[in-house]
Amino acid sequence: MLTSSNITPRLGAELDAAIQLKDLSEPEVAELVLLCAERGVVVARNQSLSPQEQSEFAHRLGEPLTFPNNPAHIPEELIVIQAGPNSKHAAGEGWHSDVSSEAKPPGLSMLRMEQVPDHGGDTLFADMYQAFESLSKPIQEFLETLTARHEPRGHYLYLSGAKAFDELETTDHPVVRIHPLTGKKVLYVNDGFVSKINGVSQPESRALLKMLYDHIAYTVKMHCRIAWAPNTVVFWDNRCVQHYAAFDYFPERRKGYRVTIRGEQPIACH
């Protein structure tokens, strides 16, 4: 049985320091996946994993997305996440859920950091269970009837190997979805990929999305913040959390490898 401690009362867990991911049994991997669904974010420190071992572990979590443009020495299951002295931006700035434009958007993401700045470079997470629960009942009931348009963005075009945006999926998903492992309702719109709320006017869509994005960004009681160290691995469940990578460490360097596990078609409330 995996042992862990909570990061906040509702969001996040950190595994016991003695646990090595590559030594987990299959029941323990299943327990890890469920812990991610329940707590949203799971941190594992001091992990001895090579890129190849990380890609192999990814297949124990499910079906990884693959990236055919990777250099030959980087497994196709991994995305290189890095920023440094020549970077104007970093991957993951802004609240988002990974690649939610897919018809079957990601379940888990797994980021292993190799190089971190002396200070800064944290990742913030927001709990979408609490985001939905803390809305008023009339707003909850209204949102459960709606869908939103999720569109691919530029960084995903580059990573996917596609030549144009119309080769990538644009998908409508429920604004409130049911998590398949916990059965709980989750707010599922994010500023990184959602272009509009369907079935309402553009001014109504903009106002509704602004209200929801402000709710996500400013309700700090449903946030947690993860400080990275070399060989730290963080898992998050894109179905029930959003995240924001703080690019506050320029011109220092931050580098790691991310795996993204395909999820399922989101389950609507009705």
Annotated active-site positions, please?
96, 98, 243, 258
Structure tokens at 4: 């862990």
Structure tokens at 243: 């995240």
Task: Give 127's contacts (C-beta < 8 A, 6+ positions apart).
Answer: 10, 11, 40, 222, 223, 224, 240, 241
- Of the candidates 56, 160, 146, 46, the residue with the CA atom closest to the CA atom of residue 98: 160
- Of the candidates 221, 12, 234, 259, the residue with the CA atom closest to the CA atom of residue 134: 221
What letter represents residue 140's amino acid? Answer: Q
Other CB atoms within a 10 A radius of the CB of residue 160 amount to: 18
Sign of CA dihedral 36, 153, 63, 257: negative
Structure tokens at 168: 């990538």
Residue in this structure with the two tokens 């009931």, named with its chain if needed: 141
